[in-house]
């Protein structure tokens, strides 16, 4: 079974530029999460989708971050404009369903904002 795929693996941009990350969850997984992991800290949830609907986006900085999962499969996370403090690893995770409580993580995208 293929795992969670993410691209790109690394991205370097200048502040005020925009960037997008892509995630393809495990086939059949209804729930998808985006986490932000700042160096030296544990991952922090940005947004959770159930199929193509948002379950929790309370910690998403909506003035600059947006995410979508239009067909309930792949997801895209966008930052526009980026700030220095957005430098982090962005992790995508998927779960069979909302109640399974077991999340499978992708390799992450390491973003550096200069």
For another protein, the binding residues in 22-81 under the rule CB under 8 A are: 31, 33, 35, 40-45, 48, 55-56, 58
Length of the chain, in residues: 114
Q: How far is the CB of 107 from another protein (least distance, A)?
A: 5
HSE toward the beta carbon, residue 25, CA cutoff 13 A: 28
Q: What's the CA dihedral at 61, 66, 64, 89 to 10 degrees?
A: 70
- Member of 91, 94, 111, 113 binding another protein (CB under 8 A): 91
Q: Quick check: 113 and 11 in contact, CB under 8 A?
A: no
By CB under 8 A, name the binding residues for another protein.
Answer: 31, 33, 35, 40-45, 48, 55-56, 58, 89, 91, 93, 95, 98-99, 101-108, 110
């Amino acid at each position: 079974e293929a795992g969670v795929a993410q691209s790109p693996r690394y991205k370097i941009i200048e502040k005020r530029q925009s960037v997008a990350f892509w995630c393809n969850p495990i086939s059949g997984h209804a729930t998808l999460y985006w986490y932000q992991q700042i160096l030296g800290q544990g991952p922090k949830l940005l947004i959770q989708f159930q199929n193509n609907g948002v379950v929790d986006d309370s910690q998403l900085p909506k003035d600059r971050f947006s995410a979508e999962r239009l067909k309930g499969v792949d997801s895209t996370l966008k930052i526009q404009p980026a700030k220095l403090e957005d430098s982090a690893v962005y992790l995508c995770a998927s779960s069979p369903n909302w109640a399974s409580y077991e999340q499978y993580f992708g390799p992450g995208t390491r973003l550096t904002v200069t």
